[in-house]
């Protein structure tokens, strides 16, 4: 890998920033000053340092983000702020992306990574990784809806939704529920409640697979996943 790319991916700055520190002679490979950004680094063998501080390369990174409303789940957008803008410059790498989508107004658990394999494992329709949402809806959610969601709902797709688990927390004019689904169809939760004649007014994802959102993360806050959390993410709920 080129030295400038290596340094960017290690969080040492943008391409132009790392080029400057390379030109300034601040970067060493195996003890020798490396002055050209295009020099190749063997990321598994070479010792790279900036100002004498070792810089270690990790191939894959995984962050748990508590997505706030108002951000789109994309790497770039012409109109809206993206979830990538919530990451510190030091943690941002060019190859990172949000694993799956939450709507702009949805909050909660979103994984940011650069690992396409894990993304595929979680998102593949065949894998049926459970996702649990805390939902506020206008209208009284009743036992009949628990049954309806368990049996599958017609949301205008070729087939009914797969069995989903609805747990009623409060059944009032505005109801509160937990809903666990094992698919990820476009606007799925909102469309399921619409099919039941109700409107979702607040939506937050709280769990994916066996991984729960860290409730100490403020909206917009994020942290790396631990190894055991990474396993939990890929487990079927």
Q: Which of residues 165, 187, 194, 223 is near ligand URA by CB under 6 A?
A: 187
Establish if 189 lies at the interface with ligand URA (CB under 6 A): yes
Establish if 203 lies at the interface with ligand URA (CB under 6 A): yes
**E strand intervals along 45-93:** 48-50, 53-55, 62-67
Q: Which is nearer to ligand URA, 28 or 205 (CB)?
A: 205
- In contact, 132 and 205? CB cutoff 8 Å: yes
Q: Which of 46, 91, 103, 214 is catalytic?
A: 103
Establish if 106 lies at the interface with ligand URA (CB under 6 A): yes
Establish if 179 lies at the interface with ligand URA (CB under 6 A): no
Q: Which is nearer to ligand URA, 96 or 137 (CB)?
A: 137
Dist. CA 97–CA 76, nearest whole Å: 10
Establish if 183 lies at the interface with ligand URA (CB under 6 A): no
Handedness of CA 123, 128, 130, 134 (dihedral sign): positive
Asked if 103 is an active-site residue, the reply is: yes
Establish if 190 lies at the interface with ligand URA (CB under 6 A): yes
Establish if 212 lies at the interface with ligand URA (CB under 6 A): no
Q: Which is nearer to ligand URA, 203 or 211 (CB)?
A: 203
List the Cα angle 22/24/28 in 5-degree steps: 50
- In contact, 108 and 205? CB cutoff 8 Å: yes
Q: Is residue 62 classed exposed, middle or buried when 0-12, 13-18 and 19+ CB atoms within 10 A define those classes?
A: buried
Applying CB under 6 A, the residues found at the interface with ligand URA are 102-103, 106, 187-190, 203
Instruction: List residues with catalytic annotation.
Output: 103
């Amino acid at each position: 890998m080129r030295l400038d790319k290596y340094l960017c991916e290690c969080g040492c700055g943008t391409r132009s920033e790392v080029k400057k520190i390379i030109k300034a002679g601040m970067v060493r490979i195996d003890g020798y000053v490396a002055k050209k950004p295009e020099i190749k680094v063997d990321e598994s063998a070479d010792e790279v340092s900036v100002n004498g501080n070792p810089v270690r390369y990790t191939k894959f990174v995984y962050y748990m983000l508590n997505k706030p409303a108002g951000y789109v789940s994309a790497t770039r957008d012409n109109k809206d702020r993206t979830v990538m803008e919530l990451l510190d410059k030091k943690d941002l790498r060019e190859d990172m992306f949000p694993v799956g989508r939450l709507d702009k107004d949805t909050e909660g658990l979103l994984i940011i990574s650069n690992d396409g394999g894990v993304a595929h494992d979680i998102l593949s329709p065949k894998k049926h990784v459970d996702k649990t949402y805390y939902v506020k809806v206008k209208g009284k959610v009743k036992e009949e809806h628990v049954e309806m969601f368990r049996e599958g709902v017609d949301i205008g797709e070729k087939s009914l939704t797969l069995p989903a688990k609805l747990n009623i927390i409060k059944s009032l004019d505005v109801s509160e529920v937990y809903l666990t689904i094992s698919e990820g169809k476009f606007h799925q939760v909102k469309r399921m409640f619409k099919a039941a004649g109700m409107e979702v007014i607040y939506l937050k994802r709280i769990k994916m697979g066996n991984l729960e959102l860290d409730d100490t993360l403020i909206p917009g806050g994020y942290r790396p996943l631990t190894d055991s959390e990474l396993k939990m993410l890929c487990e079927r709920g």
